[in-house]
Each structure stands twice: as C-alpha cells, then as structure tokens.
A and B are shown apart, each in its own frame.
Chain A
C-alpha cells in the first residue's frame, strides 16, 4: 500500500509516496520516502498529474497502487475534483503536520517559498495554533532572492555561499524588490563588490522574514523549510537574531508540504 501527497506550488510541484509497512515513520524519512519535484506547468492539474506520474513510473508503480492521496497547494481542490486525490488540505496544515512528524519538538515553522512566506505555530500535539502569511509582496519571499541573484549575475543556489564569504556588507535601503534591483544595479555601476551586495541582499531578506516572525512570535524549537532554507546566509542571519539554532530537516525542505499531505494520507488510509 502506498500513501501519497501532491503539493503544487508557485514555482515547483512535489509528489511524495510513503510505502506502508515501513514504520516507524521517522525511519522512512530520507530512506524509503519516494519523492519527485518538477517545475510547474501552466495548469495545476497538469503539474499534479505529471509529477505523480513521473514518480510512479520511476518506481514501476501505477496510480492504482495508491491507497489514499492528499493534495495541497494551488488548485488542490481541482486536483481532488479530477480524482487524483481523495482529499485536499491547506498547505499550512500540511506543512505543520509534516514538520511535526519529522521533529515533534518543533513549535515554530518558518516556511519561505517562491511566492509566499509563512510562519506557522503548532502545539505539543502538532495542531495548528496560529500562522501569518505574506503573499502580497515579493519582498521576504524566494522571489526577492531570485530577482536579486539575477541582478547580481549569480545563481540562486550560490547566492548564500557568496554572501557568507563576503568581507563586507552593503545594506540595501529599499524593501521593494523592484527598487532594490535598481539600487543594486547602481552599486554595481559604481564598482561595489558583488559579494558585499549579496551579503546585503541576504540580510535584507532575513529582515523581512523576521518582521513576519515577530507578528506571531516564536517558541523553540524553530524549523525552517521552503527553498530559502537552503540559503546559508539567510539562515545564519535568522539564527543570529533569534539566538538559536534552527532545525532544517534532512528531507528536502521543498518537499515538506507534500510530505505532510502523505502523512495525512497515511492516517486517513489506515482508518479505511
């Protein structure tokens, strides 16, 4: 029996399969968890069908092998409506349950995705207590880092490393991604160091994230998920301000939503 989670995000779509009989669940993480990530298609249904289809193919499985599937993310209701999933759950709940399953000591989850940023508080049972989300403004989301890496002419993946190796830091005065882009261009024209600007960019990113964290508060332990968790400079700055070490799961942080959905699928499927 396989339990599945599908998460269609703004930039990437993820599918996760949990094979039954491989308990305890914790051991399956990073070992027998089957997962797949793709760039999104224009339509969430296509994304869901493609990502899960590819994952199944890679492991010589078929849609019929899925006992129960939970969809989350954009168009989660449509994915369920098409019969690709039996249930749809908000990405906030999926993230919460995914993070809590991996690390039950986690009370605060900072999830910074490509097009939104969320801070989720869960209690000792893993239930959602409170959350705050920004999906109106690109500042403080992965998009900001994407725009800025493009302006700096470095890859999104390298930005954090370059920032950590910088000798100085040029702090940006603009919060708005579009203005920050112009600001950085002007600095580059004046011959300022790219690494120092990368450091300023990551600092600015962390400042926006902290502004969001302060709106709901935080409690130990803190987990960071989403694509931006891979940026070492942003993570280091957040840890400095929070004065703690954040827990970043071995599981690819981008898979958290789909993983949480698969965990919920396993719970629902086991009750069938």
Chain B
C-alpha cells in the first residue's frame, strides 16, 4: 500500500510517501503565507521522485496548521497524534516522544499500543523551539546547519540567562560585541535549548525510553545535551527527525485504509 503524509509545520512543510512502512520519497520546503497553493509543487516533486502519479496513492493524510485547507485528502489528524504514531510504529520499545518543532515543544507519553496517554505542549512561547535556535544562531552569524561544526571549537560555554527569545537575542548580541568566541556562545545556546526541552520532558518521570523528533533533533550538539540531561534511554528516530509528523500521517492513512 502506498500512502502520502503531509505536515504543514510553522517553519517547514514536509511531504513523504510510504510504501507500507518503507519511506519511498520525501521533500521539505519553507512554510510561507501561501503554503496551501505552494504545497502542490512539493507534492508533485515528491511524486516525481517516487516514480508514480497521484493515482498510484492509496491514501493521503495531512497534519499541521492549515492542513484542512488542502484538497484531495482522506483525513487530517493533529500533530501530536501523528508524531506519536510515527514514534510508536518505528520504535516499538519507546514510551515517550519529545518533539521539538519550529514553534513548539511537546513531550508525548504513549502506551504499548502506541496510543497517546498524556502530553505536554508549549506552543505559546518560542523559548527552546526551532525558531528560537534559528533566531539565536542568526544573531551569532552561524547557520543552523553549521552549529555542530562550530560548537566543536568551544572551550568555555557562555551561559545565556534569558529564556525569552527576544531578550536572549539581545544577550547573544552583547556577547558577540564583547568579543566572546562564537563557538562558546553557540555552546551556551545549545545548553540553553537542551535545558528548556529537558525541563519539560523530565516532568513525565514514567517516560524512560524516548526518542527525539523535530528539526532540533538533527543537531548533534543539542541532541547530545538533551540526552545527557534526561534520565531514560534514548532511541534514535530512524528517519530525518523533521519528517516525524508527516511519516505518522502517512502511517495513519495506511491504517485507516486497511480498516476500510
């Protein structure tokens, strides 16, 4: 069975095609104000990679902001359920997913059946989110993909006291102007994000086998610091962690189709 999952994230939109539970093709683009029309281009390019047309798909599902505006879907599902489905299906041993998206941090507890038991989510404040990291790294002049390379040269991480993204940005700029090494500021920034994320996740003490999803999980320096601050065992998400919600949507689309 071939299914498509679409995730309209706050910063990035993703499309994946699964054949059963195998990832066949995927694509990522920036989310703009016109995402509802622009997503069609991404869908076409992912289909091209997969080597078949829309008619080759058995089911399509979408998640994320504005997903309900998309045409031709079998259903839409909320992001937490999709991320949980992806984590539960691909990593049957885990009981928690920590998802750090562009504009939210969520800790999701799941049971043996992969159902969501409980979750905490902060989507009111940028603190610790992908956007937070993006704004800060921009202020330092280090691209988000270069963080791992830069942080290797850190000697003494500069601690960042503000949790608010706007105030932390000023703080970071002050450090830059004071002549602190970019590597040390970036290391401090990774510490800061890891503290914010783990502070939320650690409230679920029963979540002792977990994975990390969302764009921030791609950055080794942040992922490593989060796993250090957490008590349980970390399981690596088997695909690009940014694709978690889209993969979950595609998996759910397949399950729904099978039931019918």
**Chain A residues engaging chain B, CB cutoff 8 angstroms:** 42, 115, 136-138, 143-144, 147, 175-179, 182, 185-190
Complex CA–CA separation, A36 to B181 (angstroms): 36
Cβ A178 vs Cβ B167 within 8 A: no
Count A/B pairs, Cβ under 8 Å.
54
Our pick among A115, A144, A178, A189 for the contact of B126 (Cβ within 8 Å) is A178
Our pick among B124, B166, B174, B178 for the contact of A175 (Cβ within 8 Å) is B124
Cβ B124 vs Cβ A42 within 8 A: no
Does B210 interact with chain A (Cβ within 8 Å)?
no
Given known A-B contacts A42-B178, A137-B125, A178 and B32 have beta carbons under 8 A apart: no
Interface 1/0s, chain B 1-43, versus A by CB < 8 A? 0000000001100000000000000000000111000000000
* Chain A neighbourhood of B177, CB < 8 A: 42
Cβ B178 vs Cβ A178 within 8 A: no
Cβ A177 vs Cβ B124 within 8 A: no
* Chain A neighbourhood of B10, CB < 8 A: 179, 182
Cβ B164 vs Cβ A136 within 8 A: yes
* Chain B neighbourhood of A136, CB < 8 A: 162-164, 167
Our pick among A176, A182, A186, A190 for the contact of B124 (Cβ within 8 Å) is A176
Cβ B32 vs Cβ A189 within 8 A: yes
Cβ B33 vs Cβ A187 within 8 A: yes
Cβ B131 vs Cβ A186 within 8 A: no
Q: A136-B164, A176-B124, A176-B126 are in contact. List 8 more A-B contacts (CB 8 A).
A: A137-B167, A143-B167, A144-B166, A177-B166, A178-B126, A178-B131, A182-B10, A182-B103
Does B57 interact with chain A (Cβ within 8 Å)?
no
Given known A-B contacts A137-B125, A178-B132, A190 and B166 have beta carbons under 8 A apart: no
Given known A-B contacts A42-B174, A42-B177, A42-B178, A178 and B34 have beta carbons under 8 A apart: no
